Structures are given as structure tokens and as C-alpha cells.
Amino acid sequence: MRVALDAMGGDYAPQPNIDGAIAALERFPGLEVVLVGDRDRLENLLEEAGVSDERLTIAPASQVVEMGEKPSVALRSKPDSSIAVCWRLLAERAVDAVVSAGNTGAVVACGLGTRQFLKGVRRPGIAVALPTQRGRCALIDAGANPMAKPEHLLQYAVMGSVYARRVLGIDRPRIGLINIGSEEGKGNELYRETHRLICESPLAERYVGNVEGRDLFAGSADVVVCEGFVGNVVLKASEGMAQFLVRTLADYVLSRLDRERMHAADAFQEISRRFQYNEEGGAPLLGIDGICIICHGSSDARSIANALKVAMTFDDRGINAEIQQELSRLR
């Protein structure tokens, strides 16, 4: 499998991207990585690291979309950005996947600009695996489409179900629609109409209805559907709350322990790992004709290596073919 890695994307790029690519190549013999970015800078860093691997190549890109830039403006003014070059390589079938820890809005916008969608997909959506009391659930959309329509959310329910089944290992994923109340008829027109569409679709038998925010981590649903604005707020608030709780509890408990302090510290580290983005690696942009994995801006080498692994898993399990098959049942 050949992956275009946005070497210039992320808060600390390009070093973590290079280190992550090297680590992934050591683990996965069938992987090839194309580092996309400033050729001279990347060549110098690879030379300093003493790395020479024919499976690690460079595709030049003379521009970089900064993390704080407005995506639409940046992509118009920077057609040779590392993000844009990654997507061009995917569109040309020169690579099988794109992985980026860069400006998420720019990654999505560039993907939308290529119109490289799976047949029948109206809008791609970002799927994120969240921990729950019952295992994991898929939240979709986590930020790709803040102006969603009911038919988009219906398709997210389909794509999220395939992701939950093929990646999270849930045989018959239960679908929930995030809302301000569990009763039927709650929410604005978007969510009421989406509720109706799901109830009238082949998904109805696995639809548990509206799910409130407080029930999300209880595992009330295996696939939680929402539009991108709500999904991104839920994701960021969840990350912040998880970090706050683990740190607060660890400080409180460890300050009161003596002999068992080391065991307790190990336990808190294990709990913390369940909530860390670098364990998951990245979130797929579902609905793309190809593979796109979006990483956290603060991704380290381990996160990048795991994101490359996610791309390989996505490819190995034929997720796109199954998404198209399931979407065809809606027509």
C-alpha cells in the first residue's frame, strides 16, 4: 500500500511525521510512504537520521497551509501546499491514501474540492472512535460538514455502521442520533427530519432513537450521528474533560498513597491511554473514493505511525466497497 503523508502538517512538523513514517515502515513490510513537503528540508532530516529506504520517497510541495489559516483562502492562495499535493496524488491514483495532521479544515476542503467521493455519497464525514462503558462507539460527523442536510446524516448513519462493524468489531451496531432530548420530536428541523428518514430506512431495526449528550459515554449507541458543528464541539469537550478528570483524580489519589503509589500511577496511565488520540492514530474521512486519515494537530511520531496503520487496516478490510453496497440499499 502506498500512502501520501503530509510531512509539513501538524504543530511540530515535519520531525514527528518523518519519525512516524520510519517507525511504520519498520513494522509494516507492505507499506510505502511518500513524504509530501519541502524537498530540501526533508532530505536533510532523512540524511541526519541516516535513513535510506526505497519505500520512503519524497514528493515536493513548495507551500504549507498553517494551522490557523482559513482553509478556503489558504487553498486558493497556496495551490502547491503539501495538503493539495497529497490530494492530487490520490486523485491521480499515484497513492492509495492520504494521511495528514495539518489544518483539518483545509484537508477536508481540499478533499471536497476534488469531488473524489464514492458513488452516491453526498458529503464525506469524519468518524472518530470514542471510549464508552461498553467498549467504543463511532461519532460521525466530527467536523467535516457543519452545514449538513438530513440526507447527509442518513448516509453518515450508514457509513458509521460499516466503520463500527469492520474496524471496531461490533457485529450489529446500534445507531443513535445525538439530540437535546431522547423523546421523539425533539431537536430542530434537521434532526427531526433525519429521525424520520432513519426510521423509514433499512437501518430502522438498529436505530435506538435520540441520544442525549450525557448518554454518549454510557454506550447507549455504537454509532452516534450528528452534523459537524455539534460533533466537533462534542469531540473537543470530551478530550478536555477526559484530560481534566484523569489529571485531577491522579493528583488526588497519588497524594494520599505511599507504598501503592507506583501501582496507582500505572493504573492512571492505562486509563489515560484510553482517551489519548495518539493511540487511535487518526480518524477516517468516510465517503472518499480512496482513503483519508486525519490526525490531531499535536500528533507525535507514535500517532503518525498508528495513523498509517489505520490507513492499511481501512484498505485491507474493504470498507469503501461495503459502504457503497450499503448505500445502494437506500435507493
- Condensed to tens digits (0 to 9), the pLDDT of residues 186-234 reads 889 999 999 999 999 999 999 999 999 888 899 999 999 999 999 999 9
Burial (CB < 10 A; 0-12, 13-18, 19+), residue 67, is middle
Mean pLDDT, residues 292-307 taken together = 94
- Say how many Å lie between the first and final Cα of the chain, rounded: 33
Q: DSSP labels for 268-328?
A: HHHHHHHH-HHHH--EEEETBSSEEEE--TT--HHHHHHHHHHHHHHHHTTHHHHHHHHHH
> Directed axis angle between helix 15-27 and helix 301-316, to 10°?
50
Query: What letter represents residue 19's amino acid?
Result: D
Tell whether 223 is covered by a domain. no
The set of residues, in sequence order, having a beta carbon less than 8 Å from that of 104 and lying 6+ positions away, is 143, 294, 297
The C-alpha cell that represents 185 in the structure block: 420530536
CATH number at residue 94: 3.40.718.10
- Candidates 326, 309, 306, 284; CA nearest to 111 is 284
pLDDT in tens, 223-278: 999 999 999 999 888 877 767 666 766 666 656 665 555 555 555 455 555 455 44
For all residues of the chain together, what is the average pLDDT?
89
- Domain membership flag for residue 96: yes
The SS3 assignment for 37 reads: strand
Q: What is the pLDDT of residue 265?
A: 54
- Total domain count, the chain: 1
Q: Which residues pair with 207 in a beta bridge?
A: 175
Helix (H, G, I), strand (E, B) or coil at 265: helix
Residue 177 CA to residue 184 CA, distance in Å, equals 11
The whole-angstrom separation of Cα 331 and Cα 159 is: 15
The pLDDT value given to residue 277? 43
- How many Cα atoms within 13 Å fall on the side-chain side of residue 17? 33
Nearest to 176 by CA among 234, 118, 124, 119: 234
Q: Is 39 in contact with 58 (CB distance < 8 Å)?
A: yes
Domain annotation covers residue 52: yes
Q: What's the one-letter identity of residue 198?
A: I
- Asked if residue 268 is part of any domain, the answer here is no
Residue 178: inside a domain: no
Identify the residue whose cell numbers are 500528533.
299
Q: Is residue 212 part of a domain?
A: no
Is 9 within the bounds of a domain?
yes
Q: What SS3 class is residue 192?
A: helix
**148-198 confidence digits (pLDDT tens):** 999 999 999 999 999 999 999 999 999 999 999 888 888 899 999 999 999
pTM of the model: 0.89
Rounded mean pLDDT, 2-8: 98
Q: Which domain holds residue 68?
A: 1-121+287-317
Domain assignment present for residue 136? The answer is no
CA-CA-CA-CA dihedral for 58, 10, 178, 217, to nearest 10:
110
pLDDT tens digits for range 62-117? 999 999 899 888 889 999 999 999 999 999 999 999 999 999 999 999 998 888 89
**What does the CA dihedral 153, 155, 158, 164 come to, rounded to 10 degrees?**
-60
User: Which residue, among 43, 51, 108, 113, has the nearest Cα to 76 in the 3D structure?
Assistant: 113
Helices (H) and strands (E) in the chain, counts: 12, 11
